[in-house]
Amino acid sequence: MAVMIQELMDQWRKKGEEVGKLAAQGKAWMSVVDVVEEFTDSDFQDNDDIELSQMNQAGWEETDHFSHWYGTPMMDDAMDCLDTDFMDDKVIELFQDFKNEFWEGYENESGIYDALKAERVKRGL
């Protein structure tokens, strides 16, 4: 089971990296350019870049697109790994681990932190 979990963690990180690469090019639904431009000056003043990235992630996780393509399959993988049909604490913890891997992959490849820094400079913040 541990091998299966690690393989799925790697798979979700890779999927996040793929989405991140497209987002960096403005070719994905999570386009970094669009994300950065949506933040207000107040958002930039009240939050550091990590908090802004987390706000971005939380917003995407609320969309049907994320649920359909990423969230539901992650939950299915977590339940399959633990061989259960019930969402207990262990399933939720593993699901969260998969999401973390996905978002780390996205952050690593999307250049979101560089884009946020550049936008701060552009706005004179």
Instruction: Check pLDDT > 80 for residue 125.
Output: yes
What type of residue is 99? K
Instruction: Check pLDDT > 90 for residue 86.
Output: no
In angstroms and rounded to an integer, the radius of gyration of the C-alpha atoms of the chain is 16
When pLDDT is averaged across residues 75-87 and rounded to a whole number, the result is: 92
Q: Poorest-confidence range of 20-24, 95-99, 109-113?
A: 20-24
Q: Which residue has the higher pLDDT, 102 or 30?
A: 102
pLDDT tens string 31-74: 888 889 899 999 999 999 999 999 999 999 999 999 999 999 99
Query: In the chain, helix, strand, coil percent, each to 5?
Result: 80, 0, 20
Neighbours of 43 (CB within 10 A): 13
* Residue indicated by tokens 């884009």: 115
- Residue 18, token pair as written in the block: 């793929």
How high is the pLDDT of residue 29? 75
